[in-house]
Structure 1
Amino acid sequence: MIINNAAPPVANGIASACPPRPAVSSHIYSSTYPSPLPSETEVQQTLCGFEGPEKVLEIWFRPVNGKESPIHNQRSNIARDIESLSGSDVSVDDIDEIVDCARPEHDYPVDVFQDEEGQWQYRRSGLRLVSRAVWEDMLAIVKCQVLNVIQNECEDAYLLSESSMFVYPHRLILKTCGTTTLLHAVPRILEIARDYCGLNDVNSMFYSRKAFLFPEKQAWPHGRWGDEVAYLDKILPDDEFETAGYVIGKINGDHWCLYMATPLRLSLDLDGVELSESSSRDSDAGSSIVEEEDDEDDVTLEILMTNLDPAAMKAFWRNAEELRAAKDGSANVAREGGQRVYHAAGISEIYPTAVIDDYLFDPCGYSLNGLVGPYYFTIHVTPEDICSYASFETTVPVKRFYSHVRQGSSSEYESFEDVIQRVVEIFRPGTFSTTLFSRKTVGNKHGKTDGLLEGNVLGFKRRDRIVHCLGKWDLVFCHYDKGLVPARKKGSGVVR
C-alpha cells in the first residue's frame, strides 16, 4: 500500500491515514487508498505513518443541584411508570429517564433498582440524555464519526472512527488519534452541557497526550504543546480557573503531556452544601468533584506501547478471507474480524466478563470499548511496522489499591503490575509508558502513591518512575523498555 507522506487524503469527510479508515456511512469497505493529491508524484508516495497516540480530553461537570435538566421538560414520556416506584427506590424529583435493564452481574454501587413488579431499571440523567445526533454533530468538528454505541446502567461507550468516547451523567472522556482536531470541539462540548443538560459549571478538565510520532502532521493548535496549552487557557479564563500544563518524562525521549484546569470557586455537593475550595492550591483538602460514581474508585491506568512485535501484530490485519468478504461488499467484516482478533490475540482474557464492542479496520487497525459495571477499558492498535502503537486504558480498580474486595469481581487483579503484565504479553512492545492517575477523597483512600508501580514487569526494565502530587490528584508516570542487548564478541573485535 502507498499513501501520501505529506498529508493524509480525505474520504467522505474523514481524514484517512495508515491504515485508511472506512467511510462509516457506507457498508462498502475499500481495500485501496484514495487517489493521490494532484501535486504528488510517484516518487513522493510511500507508506505513511499513522499517528496512533491519542489526544485525551476529560471533563467533569458539577451536577445541577435541586434542578431538573432542561431536556426533561421536553420529554413527556421518559418518566413512565414513575408512580409505580417506591420512594425508597428512587426520588421522583431526580428522575430524568427510566430505562429497563438486566440484573447487574457485579456487586458495584450503581443506581439500579427494581420496580414493584421486580423489573430491573436504572436512571439516565445529565449528559447521558444528549442524543447521538448531537454528539455526532460535535464529533464532526473533531473529524471523526461514530461506529457504534453500547451502554449499561452506568455509562455510554461510543466507538469512533478514531478511538472512543465515554459519557457519564456528569463526566465525558473523549480520545481521538490520527490528525483529529479534538481541542476545536471543547467550546461545543461546553455548550452542549449547558444548553441540553443545564450543566453550567466545570468541576475539572484534563487534556493529555503522549509525545506525537509525527507532530508536523497535526492541525493547529495540536502538535506543539505550548500552543495547545495557550489555546485551552483562552477557553478557560484565569479569573475563573486555575490551569497548569506539564511535560512528564524525558524531553529528548518518551514523555507525556498533561493539562489540567480547576475552577476558582466553591463547589457544592449533591445536596447543595458547600465543600472546600476546588482550587488545586488546596493539595490536602479532599475532593470537591461531585459525581454519580463512587468516589472510591476514581483511578485511571494508561499503557502506551510502541515498537510492537510484528509477529504479535499479524492478528490485527484482516486475513485473506476477510479481505475477500470486504471486496464482495460484506457489511459484517469489521465486526466479525474484531471478534476474531478479540479471541485470537488473547484480549478476551483481560476482563472476561466485560461487555465488548470492537472493530477491525481495513486493511488493519483495531479498536475496542469494554464496560465492567461503572468502569470501562479501551484498546486501540496501529500495527504497521513504521508506526506501530497500541494503547490500553482502564478505570477498573485492583484489589491492592483498596481495602475491600467486592463480590462478583473475580476478574479484578491484585496489582496494577498484574494488569500491565497481561497487556504487554499480548502486544509485546519494545518500549512502553504507563500513567496512573488517581484522586484523593475526603476519606483519604486515594493518593496512595507509595508502592504503586514499583513492582517489576517481567521482561522489561523500568527507566523512569516520576510521581507528581497535583492538588487533589496524584500521578505516577513510568517508562519501561527491554534494555540494551549486550555486545557480542567475535574474535578480538566487537559486533554491535
Structure 2
Amino acid sequence: MAETEILSNASENNSDQFFEGVEKLIEIWFTPAKNADLRRIPRQQWEKVLKIVRCEIISFTQSEQVDAYVLSESSMFVSKRRFILKTCGTTTPLRCVRAVLALARDVAGHERVHNVFYSRREFARPKAQLQPHDNFDSEVELLDSYFGDGRAYIMGPEKDCWYLYTLLPLEGTVDALEKEQIQVNCCESSEPDQTIEILMSDLDPAVMDIFSRASSATAAEATKASGIDKIIPGMVIDDFLFDPCGYSMNGVAKDGCYMTIHITPERACSYVSFESNVPAASYDDLIKRVLDAFRPAKFVLTVFASPDSPGADTPRQLKKISSLFAFEQKDAQFVRFAGYALHYALYCKFPS
C-alpha cells in the first residue's frame, strides 16, 4: 500500500492514521482455446489497465506458468487462462473488467469466459470507497452488465461479512464489449483448482512493527523476521516494504502455484491477507503457520476446491472443526456451485 494512499486516508489526528487494508479480489477464468494465452498481453497494456484501477506495478516475477506483479496496492497474477487482480485502499478494480476482456480477446485470443469470482470482506470504512465499490449491490450490478445474471452471496455476520459474486452454471452471452460479444460458459470442464484465503484483523502489534521502515531495513529482512519465508517452502519470493510502513509479497513455484500476502500494520486498522492455490488434502498445517506468523485476534477463512482437486474434501473437513488453534468458530457456511465447493468461516480468539 503506497505511502500517498496511507496519507490520503489519514485523519487530521496523526495518531488515527488509517488505511483500508481490505481487498477486492476479481478472478476471471477463460475457456481453453488453441494458441490463446493471457501472458501474451504486454506489460505496457497492463499498466494502462491498472491506471483505471488507480494503482501501478512495483515489481515483477514469474514462473513457467504464472506472471506475478506486486502492485502499489496489492497484486496481480496472469497465467495462460486465469487473470487475478487483488487491490486494497480505494482502488476500483471492477472498472477495468471491460478493458481486460478486450485484451483477452484481441491480444490473447480468448473468446469465452469460463467463470468469474469477485469477493471481498466488509470494509472498515465503506463510505470512503469509490463507486461501484461503495456498496455490494452496485458491484453486482456492474458485474452483471459484463457477464449476465450472476449469483451473489453474503456470508457471515454484518460487521464481519464476506461478499461473493460468481456466474450462474448456465450457458449464455453478455454484451461486454460494445456491440461485440464475449461468450460465457461455466459448464465446460475445468482443470483441478483450489484456493485458500485467510483474512486477518486485530493483529499482534509486535508482529506488525516488523513491517515498518523503523524496524526493518529491507523487505527481505521483514520476510525473514516474520517467518513468511517458511509458510510455503520453495516459493520464489518477490517482496516489497513500503515507506513508512506496509508490506506486500508474491511467491511463485514452478508448478504454477502462488501465494500472496499483504500487510497493513497500523495499530488502528491492522489487517493481513494471505492467499494461495497450493494443492493440499488438508490445510491444517498451513493455517497454523499463517496464524503463528501474524497472531490475529480474528480472521475469515475461505476455501474453494473443485471436485477433481487434491483438496476436494477440505471444505467439508473444515466445516466439522468447532475450534481451530485456540480460536472459536463464530460462523460457518458450506455451499456448492459451478463445479466448486466453498467453505466460509469466521474465527475469533478465545478470551485469555
In the superposition, the TM-score normalised over structure 2's length comes to 0.89
Partner of 2:107, secondary structure, is: helix
Change (3 A) 1:342 1:44: closer
Tell me, yes or no, if structure 1 residue 385 matches structure 2 residue 267: yes
Aligned to 2:167: 261
Task: Considering fraction of residues, name the structure with more helix.
Answer: 2
* C-alpha distance after superposition, 1:5-51 (max 9, x if no partner): xxx9xxxxx79332x5xxxxxxxxxxxx89x9xxxxx9677633211
| 2:60 aligned partner, one-letter code | V
Q: How many residues align?
A: 340
Deviation at 1:453, TM superposition (A): 5.0
Please give the per-residue CA displacement for 1:216-241, whole angstroms capped at 9, x wherever unaligned: 1100110201111111111223xxxx
Q: Is the 8 A contact 2:305 2:311 kept in 1?
A: no
Gaps of 5+ in 2: 174-183
Which sits farther off after the overlay, 467-476 or 362-371?
Answer: 467-476
Change (3 A) 1:440 1:278: farther
Once the two structures are superposed, the pairs formed by residues 172-191 of structure 1 within 5 Å of their partners are 172-191=83-102
Q: 2:286 aligns with which of 419, 430, 437?
A: 419
Larger radius of gyration: 1
On the 8 A contact 1:203/1:262 being kept in 2, the answer is no
**1:480 and 2:347 aligned:** yes
After the TM superposition, which of the residue ranges 460-469 and 338-347 deviates more from structure 2? 460-469
- Matches of 1:312 and 1:391 in 2, distance apart? 14
Report whether the alignment pairs 1:433 with 2:295.
no
Does 2:194 match 1:288?
A: no
Out of 108, 131, 150, which is 1:220 matched to?
Answer: 131
The structure with the greater share of residues assigned to strand is: 2
Q: CA deviation at 1:195?
A: 0.8
Q: Contact conserved, 2:3 with 2:243, CA < 8 A, in 1?
A: no
Residues 45, 364 of structure 1: alpha-carbon distance in 2 compared, 3 angstrom cutoff: closer
Alignment RMSD (CA, Å): 2.6
Structure 1 residue aligned with 2:32: 63
| Counterpart position of 2:318 | 452
Is 1:246 aligned to 2:130, yes or no? Answer: no
Q: What secondary structure sits across from 1:353 in the alignment?
A: coil
Q: TM-score scaled by structure 1?
A: 0.64
Matches within 5 A, 1:78-117: none
Distance in structure 2 (CA, Å) of the matches to 1:397 and 1:470: 20
Query: How far apart are residue 447 of structure 1 and its match?
Result: 5.8
| C-alpha contact (below 8 Å) 2:17/2:266 kept by paired residues | no
1:321, 1:341 → 2: CA distance? 6
- Unpaired segments of 5 or more residues in structure 1? 1-7, 9-13, 21-32, 37-41, 70-125, 268-276, 280-286, 323-336, 402-414, 486-496
Distance (Å, rounded) in 2 between the aligned partners of 1:146 and 1:469: 35
Partner deviation per Cα, 1:336-355 (whole Å, 9 max, x = no partner): x1100110111111122110
Contact 1:305 1:432 in 2 (8 A): yes
- CA offset at residue 63 of structure 1? 2.4
Distance 1:214 1:265, change over 3 A: same
Q: Distance between the aligned counterparts of 2:310 and 2:272, measured in 1?
A: 33
Deviations 1:279-304 (A, max 9, x none): 5xxxxxxx6244xxxx33x1000000
Query: Does the 8 Å contact 1:17/1:48 carry over to 2?
Result: no
Change beyond 3 A, Cα 1:479–1:445: closer
Q: Contact conserved, 2:27 with 2:83, CA < 8 A, in 1?
A: yes
Distance 1:149 1:166 in 2: 10
